[in-house]
Amino acid sequence: MSDLTLEDLDRDGVLQQDIDALYGRTRADFLRTAVVGGGALLAALAVPPATRAETSKANDVRIFQYALNFEYLQATFYTETEQAGTVSAMAEPKAVWARTLGAHERAHVRIIKDVLGDAAGKKPFFDFRGNTETEERFTRTAVAMEDLTTALLTGVTPALHSRRLVAAAFSLLTVEARHAAWARHLAGIVPVLDAVDRPKPVAEVDRIVASTRFISSLDPRTTAQGRPRFVG
């Protein structure tokens, strides 16, 4: 996890002013030091909406392969948090939220895997680095993750060649945006950042995901070919 805080990202304090106005100083202080993951959407205030002159079916596959990895990332994150017992220790509204998001992301994984068929990539091995064991770190990471997903889908939805895929992506985009707003509201931070959600180019999303190091470089190798050295 790169420990970016809002303060790092919001150097001119624009967001902070908004948040101060909405929630007063106490919450604002929480947010100032809240780790916002890779910065997610917050940092992307200046990315111009790209218009796609060229789309292709091949590119559609790549977009959905990428989206599948992203859904794997999210689904595994919520699943692991639930398995760690972190969710059952939460107060009721928050536990409902955490379980709902997990159930949605797992449904997204299922359908995108189905759609990709043989083109679906293998599920990566994830290491959430201590962000699933405590409610506080889970919440912060969830906010960052949902914002980032929204930014990703905002960008790739109009980049899809097939209009039927565009229609499907719109239906996912708004759900991820709901997740993000819900997460923010529960975390006590402003649910809506601006009048428009800024898309993030895939390369930037990729850079942010890489900076979290959630996709583990250490894929465990627990099977080997070689002579046992047990006591026999």
Partner 1 sequence: MVAVTIAAVTPTSPLEGQAGGAAPATAASVRADVPALPPPVEPAFLPGEPVELGTTRHLSRWAVVRSPTTARAAPSSGSRALALVPTRTPEGTTNIVLVLDDRVEAGGGLWIRVRFPGTSSANTGWVPRRALGGYGTVRTRLVVDLRLLEARLFRDGREILRAEIGAGRPAWPTPTGEYYIRNRLTAYASPTYGPVAFGTSARSEVLTDWPAGGFVGIHGTDRPDLLPGYVSHGCIRMKNSDITRLARLMAVGTPVTIR
Partner 2 sequence: MEVDRRSEPPKSPAGSTGRVTRTALLGGAVIGAGGLAAALPGLAGSTQPASRDARILNFVLRLEHLKAAFYEEAATAGGLTGELGQLARALARHERRHVDLLLGRLGGEADAAPEFDFGEMTRDADRFARAVETLEEAAVAAYIGQGANLTRPNMVLFAQIASVEARHAAWIADVLGNDPAPKAADEAKTAEQVLAVLEETGFERGS
Task: Pick out residues in 142-181 that bind partner 2 (CB under 8 A).
Answer: 150, 153-160, 162-168, 170-181
83 touches, from partner 2, partner 1, none (C-beta below 5 to 8 Å by class): partner 1
Question: Is residue 189 within the footprint of partner 2 (CB under 8 A)?
Answer: no
Residues 6+ apart with CB under 8 A from 12: none
SS3 114: helix
d(CA 127, CA 56) in angstroms, rounded, equals 34
Count of residues that interact with partner 2, criterion CB under 8 A: 84
Name the minimum Å distance from CB 31 to partner 2. Answer: 15
198 touches, from partner 1, partner 2, none (C-beta below 5 to 8 Å by class): partner 2
Question: Is residue 40 within the footprint of partner 2 (CB under 8 A)?
Answer: no
- The answer to whether 84 and 138 have CB atoms below 8 angstroms apart is no
Question: Is residue 26 within the footprint of partner 2 (CB under 8 A)?
Answer: no
Name the minimum Å distance from CB 137 to partner 2. Answer: 22
d(CA 191, CA 181) in angstroms, rounded, equals 4
Residue 32 or 201: the one with the smaller Cβ distance to partner 2 is 201
Task: Read off the tokens for 169.
Answer: 């992506």
Name the minimum Å distance from CB 139 to partner 2. Answer: 14
Name the minimum Å distance from CB 159 to partner 2. Answer: 4
181 touches, from partner 2, partner 1, none (C-beta below 5 to 8 Å by class): partner 2
* One residue of 116, 127, 134, 135 binding partner 2 per CB under 8 A: 116
Residues 6+ apart with CB under 8 A from 213: 1, 127, 129
Exposed e or buried b for every residue in 81-115, given b needs 16+ CB within 10 A?
bbeeebbeebeeebbebbbebbebbbebbeebbee
Question: Is residue 25 within the footprint of partner 2 (CB under 8 A)?
Answer: no
Residues 6+ apart with CB under 8 A from 187: 34, 139, 140, 143
Name the minimum Å distance from CB 14 to partner 1. Answer: 30
